[in-house]
Amino acid sequence: MALLRIEKLTKAYGGLVAVDAVNFKIYEGQIKALIGPNGAGKTTIFNLITGMEKPDEGGAFFNEQSITGLKPHQIARLGISRTFQNIQLFGEMTVLENVMVGRHPRTKADFFASAFRLPLVGREERAIAEDSFELAKFIGIASKARALAKNLSHGERRLLEIARALATEPEIILLDEPAAGLNDRETGELGELIYRIRDKGITVFLVEHNMGLVMEISDEVVVLDHGKKIAEGPPLLIQEDEQVIEAYLGKEIEHA
């Protein structure tokens, strides 16, 4: 049974069909990539899966439960988290506080308990802080736990956003161009981090333009062309697909 199933997913903006009846499945424990040029519909698919936009037709199924029409926070509670192509952090909050924000969808204290500062609230907040620090250690930014997010380097901000997404305790994490703006060393470290995330039992689905990273770490790759799926399979087969090479990869894949 697929962990996440995309079925005839379709989204149009006026006369432009951004996502055109796309189908694919992601299985537990996979690292799966979605590739294609700018405007191919990759981020739109992420937005449709996570409830930020509603499809015109088709839908998404998580553990065989339809999540189409659910709100983003409802989908997050089910076990789907994401990062964004344009990093979205709280710059005036510390690294630790940003990670803690990700933990709050899993809190148990209700409004009454929070308003009256019942003991449950204090215990839960301490547990959230401890868990968030452990996540910062796992990601590799624990030394910056008290630093303001706005003072981090670009690469550190990327890591912090991943840590915050992991704080929701997802079954699957959607990474939207996580290597954007990273140098070669940081990209290599990101690849190792994605493996470690997978080894924690979290399935990974990423949109990425860095073909070297995609072909190195992915179990399977889905390729889009103007909103349509034109190929899907293991990296070696994708590299040899003439339509994919002509449309997207060209000589770039030969040097990856």
- List pLDDT tens digits, range 52-106: 999 999 999 999 999 999 999 999 999 999 998 878 788 889 999 999 988 765 5
The arithmetic mean of pLDDT across residues 11-28, rounded, is 95
Residue 15's SS3 state is: coil
Residue-level pLDDT at 28: 97
Distance CA 210, CA 50 (A): 23
pLDDT at 129: 86
For range 37-51, the mean pLDDT: 92
CB-CB contact of 45 with 52 (8 Å): no
CB-based contact 72:52 (threshold 8 Å): yes
- The DSSP symbol for 235 reads H
pLDDT band at 254 (very low <50, low <70, confident <90, very high): very low
Whether residue 193 has pLDDT greater than 60: yes
Residue 169, CA atoms < 13 Å, CB-side half-sphere: 10
**Is it the case that residue 244 has pLDDT exceeding 90?**
no
Closest alpha carbon to 13 in 55, 70, 71, 72: 55
Structural domains of the chain, with CATH: 1-79+172-256 (3.40.50.300), 98-169 (no CATH)
> Which residues in 171-189 are b (16+ Cβ under 10 Å) and which e?
bbbbbbbbbbebeeebbee
Contact by Cβ (8 Å): 163, 139: yes
Please enumerate, as own/partner, the contacts of 131-138 that have beta carbons within 8 Å and a separation of 24 or more: 131/103, 131/167, 132/96, 132/99, 132/100, 132/102, 132/103, 132/163, 132/167, 133/96, 133/99, 135/99, 135/163, 135/166, 135/167, 136/95, 136/96, 136/99, 136/163, 138/163, 138/166, 138/196
DSSP string covering 41-94:
SHHHHHHHHTTSS--SEEEEEETTEE-TT--HHHHHHHTEEE--SS----TTSB
With DSSP H G I counted as helix, E B as strand and the rest as coil, what are the percentages for the chain, rounded to 5? 45, 25, 30
User: In this prediction, what percent of the chain has a pLDDT beyond 70?
Assistant: 88
Q: Pick the closest to residue 174 from 146, 143, 207, 200 (CA basis).
A: 207
Q: How far is CA 210 from the centre of its chain?
A: 15
pLDDT of 44 above 70: yes
Q: Where is average pLDDT lowest: 49-58, 95-104, 144-153, 210-219?
A: 95-104
Longest dimension (CA), the chain: 64
Position 135 scores a pLDDT of 93
The region of weakest confidence among 122-126, 149-153, 226-230 is: 122-126
Q: Can you tell me the distance from the alpha carbon of 68 to that of 155, in angstroms, rounded to the nearest whole number?
A: 33
Question: For residue 39, what pLDDT is reported?
Answer: 82
| Reported confidence tier of residue 107, pLDDT bands at 50, 70, 90 | low
Q: What is the pLDDT of residue 139?
A: 93
